[in-house]
């Protein structure tokens, strides 16, 4: 992973004499014997170096730069093991704003081109580290050591000449073992070393405990309490990968330390880091910009293909919609970013690349906005359509209800030409009980002739059908308008003639009665004879249709609303919708009608 650019750490933890140094570097004095490179005595560090160089050989497309440093923390002082000097002057640990981590100032770093260079660093450091002796270990490490191998890899991205470099590293940390001074019988200098070792290990334990506790996430981690934790902060909770090797003793007498070590290991196992590849900020920016450009270009291609698909739709679909056209027009005026030659991309400056990305982002934003608008419009159209459908269903249901009410009523024929006043008709079946005035002649004729009214009376006949409960009763079909008008003229003309004749007859009888000296109210017999004569006359009129085959009795046609008769000139219009103020008791006609009829008779 260090080769890929990650920061990695392997550290050994455990009580003194448990084999930490043995695990990392092998038995004491191994390198003084000039061992075989493939000896089984080698520890993790040597084996890692071997594996690292094998890996570098396989990756010929990369250019690697290796650098190594070796330091120890002895009594809370950082000593450079590759350049200790005669005075073993301690180095300062500082905070780097750039890398946002602690670093050792002026630490000697050795370029390592060969495996031997790395082995030389390891040997030199092992030789210079502080080793002591106590009851539990003849070669006890009196300090924490950190061997770091920095791996810089450079790779050419594509054929445009841009090199991308990554900086990975491996930390090999050999911690000094925790000591129970009672057991080790440490005194003097060794006791001071043991106290410092225990103190720094305790801080490390606090840091591990805090990092592993999910409740303290984001809380304070006491890295600054020791040099060891400062330098391991990045490995413990940074963006690297860390391997903890817990070394324990198989001796029964060390059981409490073993349990303690395992407890630490269990806590450390809970720590979660977020490994990232460490790169040069400028190169990282170029790489991210290139990725972003590729992503935006692919997204733009996708959106363009989707828009072209919408444009290629046949007429009558989306393009035939004027609203859609306006949308299309609005979309077509989008500012398209300039086409970029990918080969020249590497030559472009960071500012140009940023400008280009900004162009694509603007276009992308516009396309996203347009896409959202299209979706919104589609939703609105669907909602409107649903509303119209619901309204349609409601109106249809209402129409059905109205039809069913009309059909259920025994006196209302279900004909759409009836005025709304008919709907207010009471349910007792008496047409005369409504507020619609009916021509008394029609009514008297119906009463006189009963159900024997001839077939030229469509209204009463239809009414009769309803009364007889015929299911097939339907309103008569409408005639063509010209024929219907002609029929209306004739029927109205006939009715007027009929009225004129009855008026003439009534006048004649009235004269006779006056002649008989009985006056208007003189005799009931006269009234009876008058009504009898009128009945006979009407019957005669009904039984003898005129030459056109039409009855001379006023008829209601299908196109004429009930209660209203409309004529064209020269016949005067007579409205029967409202009962006139003054009606003659004998003729049943208004003054105005009588005047008209008198004029007609005179003519
Ligand atoms: N796996 C092993 N096989 C053989 N010998 C071992 C093994 N582990 C440790 N030893 C031996 O035990 C002794 C102590 O080991 P080592 O020095 O590595 O312990 P340590 O944990 O580093 O102690 P300290 O913390 O005091 O430095 C050494 O002589 C080492 O060779």
Give the pLDDT confidence of 248-301 residue by residue, as tens digits: 988 888 888 899 889 888 888 887 777 777 666 666 777 777 777 788 888 888
Residue 200 in any domain: the answer is yes
Same domain, 319 and 220: no
Residues lining ligand 1, Cβ inside 6 A? 14, 16-22, 27-28, 137, 139-141, 176-177, 247
Residue 406 in any domain: the answer is no
Question: Which of 217, 242, 270 is the last residue in one of the domains?
Answer: 270
Percent of the chain beyond pLDDT 70? 56
Residue 377 in any domain: the answer is yes
Same domain, 443 and 326: no
Q: How many domains does the chain have?
A: 3
Same domain, 170 and 293: no
Same domain, 168 and 261: yes
Annotation-wise, does 21 bind a ligand? yes
Same domain, 474 and 505: yes
The distance between the two most distant Cα atoms of the chain, rounded to a whole number of Å, is 171
Q: What is the DSSP letter of 565?
A: B
- In whole angstroms, what is the distance from residue 173 CA to residue 236 CA? 12
Same domain, 107 and 152: yes
Asked if residue 266 lies in contact with residue 34, where contact means CB atoms within 8 angstroms, the answer is no
CATH at 68? 3.40.850.10
Q: What share of residues in the chain are helix, strand, coil (percent, to 5)?
A: 50, 15, 35
Angle of CA points 61, 62, 66, to nearest 5°? 150
Same domain, 547 and 455: yes
Which has the closest alpha carbon to 145: 167, 120, 121? 121
Report the nearest atom of ligand 1 relative to the CA of 12.
Answer: 21
Residue 433 in any domain: the answer is no
**What's the pLDDT score for residue 168?**
86
The residue whose CB lies within 8 Å of the most ligand 1 atoms, and thus the one to mutate among 19, 183, 257, is 19
Report the nearest atom of ligand 1 relative to the CA of 175.
Answer: 25
Same domain, 123 and 194: yes
Annotation-wise, does 17 bind a ligand? yes
Same domain, 291 and 238: no
Give the pLDDT confidence of 62-98 residue by residue, as tens digits: 888 899 999 988 888 888 888 877 677 888 888 888 7
Q: 574: pLDDT confidence band, cut at 50, 70 and 90?
A: very low
In this predicted structure, the answer to whether residue 487 has a pLDDT above a threshold of 50 is: yes
Angle of CA points 423, 428, 430, to nearest 5°? 80
**What's the pLDDT score for residue 161?**
64
Annotation-wise, does 161 bind a ligand? no
Give me the DSSP letters along 361-388.
HHHHHHHHHHHHHHHHHHHHHHHHHHHH
Give one word for 361, left, alpha or beta, with left for phi > 0 and alpha for psi -120 to 50.
alpha
Q: What is the CA radius of gyration of the chain?
A: 57
Q: Tokens 């770093």 identify what position? A: 109
Report the nearest atom of ligand 1 relative to the CA of 140.
Answer: 26
Asked if residue 49 lies in contact with residue 115, where contact means CB atoms within 8 angstroms, the answer is yes
Residue 397 in any domain: the answer is no
Residue 187 in any domain: the answer is yes
Take atom 10 of ligand 1 and give the residue whose Cα is closest: 19
Same domain, 182 and 229: yes
Residue 412 in any domain: the answer is no
Residues facing residue 156 across a β-bridge: 163
In this predicted structure, the answer to whether residue 125 has a pLDDT above a threshold of 70 is: yes
C-alpha 28 – ligand 1 centre gap (Å)? 8
Q: What is the DSSP letter of 320?
A: T
Percent of the chain beyond pLDDT 90? 3
Report the nearest atom of ligand 1 relative to the CA of 138.
Answer: 29
So what's the ipTM on this one?
0.96
Residues in the chain: 603
The residue whose CB lies within 8 Å of the most ligand 1 atoms, and thus the one to mutate among 12, 13, 17, 258, is 17
Instruction: Supply the range of the domain harboring residue 170.
Output: 7-270
C-alpha 9 – ligand 1 centre gap (Å)? 21
C-alpha 72 – ligand 1 centre gap (Å)? 18
- In whole angstroms, what is the distance from residue 417 CA to residue 590 CA? 27
Quick one: average pLDDT of 399-416?
Answer: 60
**What's the pLDDT score for residue 567?**
38
134 or 480, higher pLDDT: 134
- Of 20-34, 510-524, 552-566, 580-594, which range is least confident? 552-566
Same domain, 39 and 160: yes
Within 10 angstroms of residue 4's Cβ, the number of other Cβ atoms is: 12
**What's the pLDDT score for residue 530?**
47
Same domain, 376 and 265: no
Containing 149, the helix (H) or strand (E) segment is strand 144-157
Q: 172: pLDDT confidence band, cut at 50, 70 and 90?
A: very high
Q: What is the DSSP letter of 38?
A: T
Residue 426 in any domain: the answer is no
């Amino acid at each position: 992973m260090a080769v890929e650019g990650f920061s990695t750490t392997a550290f050994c933890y455990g009580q003194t004499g448990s084999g930490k140094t043995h695990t990392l570097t092998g038995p004491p004095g191994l390198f003084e014997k000039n061992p075989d490179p493939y000896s089984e005595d080698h520890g993790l560090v040597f084996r890692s170096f071997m594996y690292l160089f094998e890996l570098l050989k396989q990756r010929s497309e990369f250019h690697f730069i290796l650098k190594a440093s070796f330091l120890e923390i002895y009594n809370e002082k950082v000593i450079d093991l590759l350049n200790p000097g005669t005075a073993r002057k301690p180095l300062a640990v500082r905070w780097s704003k750039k890398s946002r981590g602690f670093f050792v100032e002026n630490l000697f770093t050795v370029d390592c081109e060969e495996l031997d260079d790395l082995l030389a660093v390891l040997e030199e450091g092992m030789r210079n580290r502080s080793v002591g002796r106590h009851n539990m270990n003849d070669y006890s490490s009196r300090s924490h050591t950190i061997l770091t191998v920095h791996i810089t890899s450079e790779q050419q991205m594509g054929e445009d000449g841009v090199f991308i470099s990554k900086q990975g590293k491996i930390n090999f940390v050999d911690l000094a073992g925790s000591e129970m001074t009672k057991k080790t019988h440490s005194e003097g200098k060794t006791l001071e070393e043991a106290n410092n070792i225990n103190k720094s290990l305790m801080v490390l334990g606090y840091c591990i405990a805090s990092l592993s506790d999910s409740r303290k996430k984001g809380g304070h981690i006491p890295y600054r309490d020791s040099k060891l934790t400062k330098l391991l902060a990045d490995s413990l909770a940074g963006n690297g990968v860390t391997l903890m090797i817990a070394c324990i003793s198989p001796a029964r007498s060390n059981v409490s330390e073993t349990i303690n070590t395992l407890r630490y290991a269990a806590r450390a196992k809970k720590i979660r880091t977020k490994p990232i590849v460490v790169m040069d900020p400028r190169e990282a920016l170029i790489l991210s910009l290139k990725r972003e450009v590729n992503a935006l270009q692919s997204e733009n291609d996708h959106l363009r293909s989707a828009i072209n698909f919408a444009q290629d739709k046949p007429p009558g679909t989306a393009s035939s919609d004027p609203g859609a056209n306006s949308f299309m027009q609005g979309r077509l005026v989008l500012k398209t970013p300039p086409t970029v030659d990918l080969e020249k991309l590497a030559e472009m400056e960071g500012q140009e690349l940023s400008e280009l990305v900004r162009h694509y982002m603007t276009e992308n934003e516009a396309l996203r906005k347009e896409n959202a608008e299209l979706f919104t419009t589609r939703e609105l159209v669907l909602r409107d359509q649903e509303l119209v459908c619901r309204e349609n269903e409601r109106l249809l249901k209402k129409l059905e209800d109205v039809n069913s009410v009309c059909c259920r009523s025994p006196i209302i024929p279900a004909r759409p030409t009836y005025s709304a006043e008919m709907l207010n008709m009471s349910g007792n079946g008496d047409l005369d009980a409504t507020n619609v005035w009916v021509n008394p002649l029609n009514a008297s004729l119906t009463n006189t002739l009963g159900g024997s009214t001839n077939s030229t009376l469509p209204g009463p006949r239809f009414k009769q059908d309803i009364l007889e409960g015929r299911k097939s009763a339907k309103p008569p079909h409408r005639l063509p308008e010209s024929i219907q008008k002609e029929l209306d003229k004739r029927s109205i003309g006939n009715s007027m003639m009929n009225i004129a004749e009855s008026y003439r007859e009534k006048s004649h009888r009235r004269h006779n009665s006056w002649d008989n000296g009985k006056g208007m109210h003189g005799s009931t017999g006269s009234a009876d004879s008058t009504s009898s004569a009128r009945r006979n006359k009407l019957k005669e009129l009904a039984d003898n249709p005129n030459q056109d085959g039409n009855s001379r009795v006023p008829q209601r046609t299908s196109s004429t609303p009930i209660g209203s008769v409309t004529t064209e000139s020269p016949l005067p219009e007579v409205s029967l919708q409202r009962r006139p103020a003054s009606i003659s008791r004998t003729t049943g006609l208004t003054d105005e009608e009588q005047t008209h009829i008198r004029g007609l008779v005179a003519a």
